[in-house]
Structure 1
Amino acid sequence: MPGIDRETVQAWLPRIALILAFGGCLTSTWLLLVDTNVWLAVFCTLFALRYVRLFGHLVGYWSYRPSPVQPDPSFTRKDVTVILPTIDPNGPDFQECIRSILANGVASIIVITVGAELKAECRRVLGALALDAGATSLCVSAIDKPSKRRQINHAIPHITTAITILADDHVFFPTANFIPAVLAPFDNEKVGVVATKKRVRRTTPGKWTWLSIVNFVACNYLERHNWELRASNAIDGGVFVVSGRTAVYRTDLLTDQELLRGFCDEKFFLGRFELNPDDDNYLTRNTMEKGWLIRFQDTEDATIETTLGEWPKINGQLLRWARTTFRSNPIMLRNPDFLYRYTWSAFQVYLAGMLNFAALWDVLLIFTLVRASQAAPTFPAAVVVILILWIIATKAIKLIPHFFRHPADLQLFVFQVLFAYVHSFFKLWALVTFWDCGWSGRNLDDVNGDENDKNVLAFEVVV
């Protein structure tokens, strides 16, 4: 349409959709109340509130288009530094992680660890990879106490490239085309952050063992994240979080002094508790508040692989992620500018994320439909069965990409349905313990350095 740009349409379309959806919900409720079947009215309202989000996300998912790689891009591999915080350089994934980054030919890798002992171990690992480094500079440093935020902050002043990738020590970049793929959105000067697609390594597809089932559930946890990111980012440019597993930033954004001060000194609950986790939520929130655009790059080349689903470690991880929802989402929702610019994401991502207890919603839907059928003698009982099948089917939509890759896992789908309800109790416990900001899932108590050892803080160029 002449005179109306894409950003204007993207800003107003979700607002119009929300008005029509909730207006239709209220209208149907009023009509049903007039018809005296109160339970049917309640069911229709609950159904609309539950599934408006799904229908809207489906539209967003299918309308999404990734940023194409241009023949003459604004940035290349030599414009990229990777910051890699770690407290486990002896872990099974660290060396493979470094190799996968080196295969992408970035300008520099900065490893930040904790204490002199771990620094020496990181130096040893990087030295062993010297022959694979090529033109990539390998640097190592450390701080005195474990804190992912402080480790990242310690590295930022030493970045000399225009683009910075923050990555975890257990992610693996695909070779050759990863960097061009994640740099493509930066051809738009308004883009400040690119979120990458995440995939969990599937260890034993189709196996009916406990460890296989846990790994299957973990695969789907991140698969659902990808689905949500793609859908919301296409609708209004919003995302629930740019995951710290691998996130690509303009360095100018990260070197903002106001951002850095808050990053290392963020507190919550009336300033009583200091946050160590939730670092990626903080950066996502500040990116949006400062007017930068966020793009989710959903392509195979932009897909990182990671390990997830170790038992019982995953229990602590699920609790930490759920607590993050209740700590971070309300901060976003209290910002009027965010509500205006990211209307769909505000209501259907951030607010919905706090209210989405599958065990509660699904039970209420079935209960109200059963009562509605009892209030109307001509009401077909089969409708309740259809509702149950519908509920189960909707839980498979976001997992379709995983089942295409691993069709043997279809037989394990029942465990994903069960997890959806079990996770509601994880979220409930996270809600009543949201003040617990420990890094559950990792033991940080035994990881400390000597705060008097100033040599630890020094940067060393290994290669």
Structure 2
Amino acid sequence: MGQYLFKSKRIQHQKTTVNLLDLDEKPVFIANRFSAPPTKTKAIATITIVSNLRSQSRTRILAMNYIREDSLSQETVFTLLFCLLFFFRYTRTIVSIFTYLLFKPKPVQINPKYKASDATVVVPTTFKEPAELVQCLKCILACDPRAVYVVTGNNNVGLVRELCSIERFDNVVVLGVEKLNKCKQMLRALKEVETEIVVFADDDVFWPPDYLKYLLAIFEDDNVGAGGTRQRVRRKPTPNFWNFLGISYLERRVWNNVTTNAIDGSISTLSGRTAAYKTEILKSNEFFWYFENDQWRGKPLNTDDDKCLTRYVYSHGWKIAIQFDERSVIETTLEDNPKYLDQCLRWARGQFRGNFIVMSNETYWRSLRYSWGLYVIYIGQFQTPALLVDGTLAYLLANAFRSSAYFSTALAALGCWILFTKLVKLMPHFYRHPADLRFVPLSIAFSYLHGFLNVYAAFTLTKTHWGSQNLAKLEKARAQNDEVQPLLKKAVAEAEAYTEPTPGRPMVGEDYFSAVPI
């Protein structure tokens, strides 16, 4: 055959040698009796190059398969996937444990910037439980705020005023609104506030003595615009399962809020049960319009007031702080019957709606300043239902150890870890009330059920009604004519004197973990 001489690189494949054209050099054709035309030789060279490339591709594929089958076994892949999911899910839990143990309360200064006389308390009420309202007001007035405003429906204003007169609540002003709507009730009273601090409180919360002193300590930092404290559900002397579910819900909620806020100042929701705000942030036409027109996909919201307030404070560059002091823990009541499920759905819907509104309309949530909150609050909300996530972890771990002698040990260790994570946030309560350990099995079962309630709530976000309240019914007068005096007498008789949250057995120490039995 003819032969080309090139000044070029050469590709060697098996026994075939192909000369690559060097465009800078003209090929020299050497003729002999075996020579072939140049065009035919070029075609042969091209075909040979294509053949070589295909062969190299097959070689790479075989090599990759070899790596997959030998170097990166299926067990290794499952192990890596398990580790990724495990640390993504539980890093926040591990960090929160150390944060909860190490976080210190805000100290009360000898000469504080704000005193109780610098605060006005606003209490929106449906007047559903008159005795609870009386007890709530007693606790608030014992803390000596400058003024207290109670806002209810117009039809019950007279009853509330008469009840306050009987109890000699001289510092309480009762206002009315046409329709029961918590946002409108809060705005109605906010117009009257003249102090530097306004505190919104629900009508079913019970403050400990000197509560305002500890709450207002958060404002020693001039950049703090709002804040709250720890909370507990009032435990009945003989609690039923529903009462315990309420207790466990709020214990977990407070744990999450406190630890997240301690790390980077973020919080999902500053609870509306009791929260303090600098009046200058809220008493403006901008806020009034913003608060009154809060909506979800064009539909006005009758709930989620605390979500709206939290969003507004953050979006205007203010910090939110939580007072961790044990002496500032408030008590509240929740439904202790199947209506508790309605409350769970309302809270879940509010959580999703509030977070989605923030993610759609605000930018602070993804800033470097609140990076921990981004992971815990906005990304973490999608780790539901828990049964699906925990089931996936178990599946990955089982496949990672399927050929190991430690298969059973690994699954048992995972089960113990999951059990620990579901109970660690309740350990303070169990330490104080060990009798409630009997509710642990049902509590764990409900935690998995709650995940599916979250999924249902996520698909029903347009339901904005107050789950456990019939507001239309509550707008009517609670009593008329001859019914008034019996109602008032009953409310006064049932209003128990407030006592601070007490442990199940005598203890010494200011905090759960540091306290020890006498």
How far does the alpha carbon of each residue in 1:121-157 deviate from its partner, in whole angstroms, 9 at most, with x for none?
1111111121x55xxx210111111100000011111
2:212 pairs with 158, 179, 182, which one? 179
**In structure 2, how many angstroms separate the alpha carbons of the residues matched to 1:360 and 1:267?**
32
Aligned with 1:445: secondary structure? helix
- The 8 Å contact of residues 89 and 121 in structure 1, kept in 2 or not, is answered as no
User: Which residue pairs with 2:421 in the alignment?
Assistant: 394
1:415 maps to 2:442: yes
Structure 2 length-normalised TM? 0.75
- Give the structure 2 partner of residue 424 of structure 1: 451
Residue aligned with 1:383, SS: helix
Tell me how far 1:336 sits from its aligned partner.
3.0
3-state SS of paired residue (1:140): strand
CA distance, structure 1, for counterparts of residue 300 and residue 267 of structure 2:
24
- Give, in whole Å, the separation in 1 of the partners of 2:237 and 2:389: 32
Flag the 1:449–1:204 CA change in 2: closer, same or farther, 3 A.
closer
Note if 1:122 corresponds to 2:166: no
Residues 301, 431 of structure 1: alpha-carbon distance in 2 compared, 3 angstrom cutoff: same
How much does 1:204 deviate?
A: 3.5
Q: Assess, with a 3 A threshold, how the Cα gap between structure 1 residues 377 and 402 changes in structure 2: closer, same or farther.
A: closer
Give me the whole-angstrom Cα distance separating, in 2, the residues matched to 1:91 and 1:418. Answer: 35
Provide the residue aligned with 1:460 in structure 2. Answer: none
Letter paired with 1:343: S
CA contact (8 A) 1:333 1:351 kept: no
Q: Aligned match of 1:43 in 82, 90, 101?
A: 82
User: Structure 1: how far apart are the matches of 2:435 and 2:476?
Assistant: 47
How far apart are residue 377 of structure 1 and its match? 4.1
TM-score (norm 1): 0.84
8 Å CA contact 1:89, 1:122 repeated in 2: no
Q: 1:18 is matched with which residue? A: none
Q: Secondary structure at the match of 2:271?
A: coil
1:143 equivalent in alignment to 2:185 = no
Runs of 4+ residues over 4 Å off in structure 1: none
Matches within 5 A, 1:228-243: 228-243=256-271
The one-letter code matched in structure 1 to 2:181 is: S
Runs of at least 5 residues in structure 2 that lack an aligned partner in the other structure: 1-67, 478-518
Question: Given the superposition, is the C-alpha separation of residues 145 and 354 from structure 1 closer, same or farther in structure 2, using an over 3 Å criterion?
Answer: farther
The answer to whether 1:267 aligns with 2:295 is: yes
Q: Tell me, in whole angstroms, the C-alpha distance in 1 between the residues paired with 2:272 and 2:288.
A: 16
CA drift of 1:438 comes to: 0.6
Contact 1:143 1:449 in 2 (8 A): no
1:193 match: secondary structure: strand
Residue 364 of structure 1 corresponds to 392
The one-letter code matched in structure 2 to 1:252 is: E
Count how many residue pairs are aligned between Structure 1 and Structure 2: 406
Aligned to 1:166: 200
Counterpart residue type for residue 127 of structure 1: S
Higher relative contact order (CA 8 A, sep 6+): 1
1:152 aligns with 2:203: no
Task: Indicate if the aligned counterparts of 2:245 and 2:443 stay in contact, CA closer than 8 A.
Answer: yes
- How far apart, CA to CA, are the structure 2 residues paired with 1:58 and 1:44? 20
Displacement of 1:379: 4.6
Asked if 2 retains the 8 angstrom alpha-carbon contact of 1:144 and 1:449, the reply is: no
Q: In the superposition, relative to structure 1, how do residues 253 and 259 fare at CA in structure 2: closer, same or farther (>3 Å)?
A: same
Q: Secondary structure at the match of 2:176?
A: strand
Q: Is 181-190 or 59-68 further displaced after alignment?
A: 59-68
* Counterpart check, 1:329 vs 2:368: no
* Counterparts of 1:62 and 1:285, CA distance in 2: 28
Question: Which of 184, 187, 194 in structure 1 is aligned with 2:227?
Answer: 194
Contact between 2:257 and 2:267, CA under 8 Å: does it hold in 1?
yes
2:374 alignment partner AA: A
Tell me the residue number matched to 1:55.
94
Structure 1 residues 337 and 308: CA distance shift in structure 2, 3 A? closer
Show the 5 A alignment for 1:444-463.
444-448=471-475
1:301 aligns with 2:334: no
Change (3 A) 1:89 1:318: closer
Q: Separation in 2 of the partners of 1:201 and 1:448? A: 27
Q: Structure 1 residues 127, 33: closer, same or farther in 2, change over 3 A?
A: farther
- Say yes or no: does 1:256 pair with 2:284: yes
Q: How does 1:74-85 map to 2 (within 5 A)?
A: 74-85=113-124
Does 1:350 find its partner at 2:378? yes
The residue aligned with 2:20 is none
Aligned-pair identity in percent equals: 34
Q: Does 1:440 align with 2:458?
A: no
Matched AA of 1:182:
L
Q: What is the SS of the residue equivalent to 2:227?
A: strand
Which one-letter code corresponds to 1:315 in the other structure? L
Aligned to 2:313: 287
Gaps of 5+ in 1: 1-29, 451-463
Shift of 1:449: 6.9
| 1:90–1:321 distance in 2 versus 1, CA, 3 Å | closer
Q: CA RMSD in A?
A: 1.9
- Correspondence for 2:401: 373
State the match for 2:433 in structure 1: 406
Residue-by-residue CA offset, 1:404-431 (whole Å, 9 max, x unaligned): 2212112222222112101011111101
> Which residue of structure 2 lines up, in the alignment, with residue 456 of structure 1?
none
Distance 1:305 1:33, change over 3 A: farther
Residue deviations 1:8-46, cap 9 Å, x none? xxxxxxxxxxxxxxxxxxxxxx9x993442222222221
